[in-house]
Structure 1
Amino acid sequence: MKLSPSSVRKIVFLAVAVLQSCASANFSREFENSSLRFSRLTSMPSSRAYMGYCSNGQTTFVIGGESRTGESFDNILSFNTKSNSWNEVTPVHISAEKNINSAISSGSMFLFNGTKGQLNSPLSPIDINVREVAYNNRVPKVDNVSINPQPLFKAGISEYKGYIYLYGGMVDHETYSNTLYRFNAKKKEWKQMAHLPKQMITQGQIIDNKLYVFGGQNDKPIDEIYMYNIKVDRWVKVGKLPEPIVDAAITSYKHHIILFSNEQVFVYDTHKGSLMRFQTNIGALKGMGATISNNNLIIFGGIKINNSGKEVFSSAVYKLDIFKIIS
């Protein structure tokens, strides 16, 4: 019996998926005990955590977030790494929220989700509006351009070629989500894609038509790496982390995905399927942000635990030459 070309493609894909599902990330111990020394830059104008963040490659943006008093910010900050200076994107003001998902696509910034609740009530009503921020305008402005089909708390977000992908997160105090939605930044249209392998909060980045998500949590911490192939709309497990990564800031540079979590930097090479882990001089943070700007890895904000066990909101900004961790 002669198989059709479409049948052959399906068989090949399934065989590859089976092989990948049995694989583990090639964890390199070469750099496991190496310590990266970040330098300090100008601090943010105010301490904040659980903010939205994104970069256009040159400028880092910080959106909303929670203050040390438990209130939320309603502004958007921009950070120029070359001049080492912070500015406010004015006259733009948003709803005062934390846990905003943000991404730059098709020349604009888009904001999703976001809550007003304090740390002890994180699942207050979630913003259903999709906001487009025209930050490049002579007079920047913000407009509501769509309604989110499934507002979620702590969803993951990734942008690729004019599309923004939102995935995972929490629906309510007890229910984790496994949905994946794609938003067309130009047409302002939504499409639901293949479900995640698990209901979970997770973080990811897209490289070469593939979305990689790392760890996260549902009822327990997660240590797996999953890959979503955009072209065929399917998920497969591609590896395992050396430890669960629950609260991470994530960014990418070329074919490398960089995570900061629990005082450590993890670098995943999507071409090799390899993972490196470095210690840092930053200390433990949660609710921080991370971007790549002007070939530097920038880590900022978040909450530290001091020597007496008290949570302290941070305004610190750290910088590392990206070429110190990738080749």
Structure 2
Amino acid sequence: MKLLSSSIYRYCLLVISVIMQSCVSANISKEFENATLRFSRGTPMPSSRAYMGYCNTSKTTFVVGGMNKAEEHYNTILSYSPKNDTWNEVTPINIKGEKLINTTISSGSMFLFNGTKGKEDDPMASIDVNVREVAFNNRVPELTNVSLNPQAIHKSSIAEWKGKVFLFGGRIDDETYSNTLFSFDSKKKEWKQLASMPKQMITYGTIVHGKLYVFGGRNEAPIDEIYMYNIKVDRWVKVGKLAEPIVDATITNYGSNIIIFSNEQLFIYNTDKGTLKRYHTNVGKLVGNGMTVSEEKLIIFGGVKTNSVGKEVYSSTVYTLDIQKILQ
């Protein structure tokens, strides 16, 4: 009886702590800056591409697949060294030529989820059900199918934490958005379904200190809420609202800060203080781009840019910024 009471007591304390965090975090201070963050330009990618997978280590950024203006799909994995400002291909790896691949690094390997050759806005297009592991640190890199995705889905999002990969949201078909959250153990290659998101939606998220934060997105309408999932207690709470919906974004994190790029603006959410800052940039309007942090630099690359006359142009441009400039 004492053991049972002790377990219930600890669980109640965890739930109370989540509720208290929700109440505190809901008071978000939105600081809108007039200043423009000016990115420098690095060596361009070997080819213009958008809607690619991407991930990073502390020293290297990887670009996986994607497509070009002619809707040709790339089957290569590229690596970028910010220190040397150079691009290389991870050989002899050739993936299926796909775009919209969810990519992350976990337990020392790269993992690829989803991916499609279908039209960008066609959620009914065939989604790759294979989970692929890329041993990119091997003397001869290897690509292996290691599992099947229990819910391969269009425009799902991805985040990694301590050997677990979390996939959430996305679009199932023309009329149905997903609110599912799954975790994948990158060592055991095992899946687990977790607490469903508060809404069915495409959204953008990353994990800081054991908590998954998701920002905006869309379903039948644009979304302006910020939700947080506590991995320890398997529970979602709403922690705030954006000043305006974010419907297309790339996201990464550095320390306690979450960095979001959307519509040529950069948003910095500090998870410790619950503050949200917004900056203008000189990057321009991009969609389908990638964003990572490697070698203490924030790196934005690729995507589809709208030029001064409203024409869409596939980009190979690489923009870099000292990460400390946005944390002051």
Q: Alignment partner of 1:4: what SS?
A: helix
- Pairs within 5 Å for 1:62-211: 62-119=63-120, 121-211=122-212
How far residue 4 of structure 1 moved from its aligned partner, in angstroms, is 3.4
* RMSD of aligned residue pairs (Cα, Å): 1.7
How far residue 123 of structure 1 moved from its aligned partner, in angstroms, is 3.5
Instruction: Verify the 8 A CA contact 2:135 2:142 in the aligned structure 1.
Output: yes
* CA deviation map 1:101-140 (0-9, x unaligned): 0000011000000010133535310000000001111111
Instruction: Verify the 8 A CA contact 1:285 1:302 in the aligned structure 2.
Output: yes
How far residue 27 of structure 1 moved from its aligned partner, in angstroms, is 2.9
Query: Hey, what's the Cα distance between the residues in 2 that align with 1:121 and 1:198?
Result: 21
Is residue 321 from structure 1 mapped to residue 322 from structure 2 by the alignment? yes
How far residue 5 of structure 1 moved from its aligned partner, in angstroms, is 3.8
Query: Hey, what's the Cα distance between the residues in 1 that align with 2:135 and 2:57?
Result: 13
Query: Hey, what's the Cα distance between the residues in 1 that align with 2:27 and 2:87?
Result: 38
Q: Alignment partner of 2:33: what SS?
A: coil
Amino acid at match of 1:159: E
1:274 to 1:147, Cα distance in 2 relative to 1, 3 A: same
TM-score with structure 1 length normalisation? 0.95
Instruction: Verify the 8 A CA contact 2:14 2:233 in the aligned structure 1.
Output: no
Instruction: Verify the 8 A CA contact 1:25 1:275 in the aligned structure 2.
Output: no
Moved over 6 A (4+): none
Instruction: Verify the 8 A CA contact 2:211 2:230 in the aligned structure 1.
Output: yes
Percent of matched pairs sharing the same residue? 61
Query: Hey, what's the Cα distance between the residues in 1 that align with 2:27 and 2:55?
Result: 27
Is residue 51 from structure 1 mapped to residue 52 from structure 2 by the alignment? yes
Instruction: Verify the 8 A CA contact 1:227 1:235 in the aligned structure 2.
Output: yes
* CA deviation map 1:54-79 (0-9, x unaligned): 00111000000111101211110000
Amino acid at match of 1:24: A
Instruction: Verify the 8 A CA contact 1:297 1:319 in the aligned structure 2.
Output: yes
Instruction: Verify the 8 A CA contact 1:27 1:242 in the aligned structure 2.
Output: no
Structure 2 counterpart of 1:286: 287
* CA deviation map 1:181-212 (0-9, x unaligned): 00000111111111011101111111111111
Instruction: Verify the 8 A CA contact 1:115 1:123 in the aligned structure 2.
Output: no
Q: Alignment partner of 1:324: what SS?
A: helix
Is residue 27 from structure 1 mapped to residue 29 from structure 2 by the alignment? yes
Instruction: Verify the 8 A CA contact 1:157 1:166 in the aligned structure 2.
Output: yes
How far residue 10 of structure 1 moved from its aligned partner, in angstroms, is 4.5
1:231 to 1:18, Cα distance in 2 relative to 1, 3 A: closer
Instruction: Verify the 8 A CA contact 2:123 2:172 in the aligned structure 1.
Output: no
Q: Alignment partner of 1:323: what SS?
A: helix
Is residue 270 from structure 1 mapped to residue 277 from structure 2 by the alignment? no
Query: Hey, what's the Cα distance between the residues in 1 that align with 2:164 and 2:38?
Result: 35
Q: Which runs of 5 or more structure 2 residues have no equivalent in the other structure? A: none
TM-score with structure 2 length normalisation? 0.95
Query: Hey, what's the Cα distance between the residues in 2 that align with 1:305 and 1:25?
Result: 35
Structure 1 counterpart of 2:237: 236
Which deviates further from its counterpart, 300-309 or 252-261? 300-309
Q: Alignment partner of 2:286: what SS?
A: coil
Alignment length (residue pairs) = 325
How far residue 168 of structure 1 moved from its aligned partner, in angstroms, is 0.4
Instruction: Verify the 8 A CA contact 1:20 1:236 in the aligned structure 2.
Output: no
Which deviates further from its counterpart, 48-57 or 5-14? 5-14
Instruction: Verify the 8 A CA contact 2:15 2:233 in the aligned structure 1.
Output: no
Query: Hey, what's the Cα distance between the residues in 2 that align with 1:49 and 1:199?
Result: 25
Q: Alignment partner of 1:202: what SS?
A: strand
Query: Hey, what's the Cα distance between the residues in 2 that align with 1:230 and 1:319?
Result: 32
Instruction: Verify the 8 A CA contact 1:70 1:119 in the aligned structure 2.
Output: no
Query: Hey, what's the Cα distance between the residues in 2 that align with 1:15 and 1:83?
Result: 48
Structure 2 counterpart of 1:303: 304
Amino acid at match of 2:42: L
Amino acid at match of 1:253: Y
How far residue 269 of structure 1 moved from its aligned partner, in angstroms, is 0.7
Instruction: Verify the 8 A CA contact 1:25 1:241 in the aligned structure 2.
Output: no
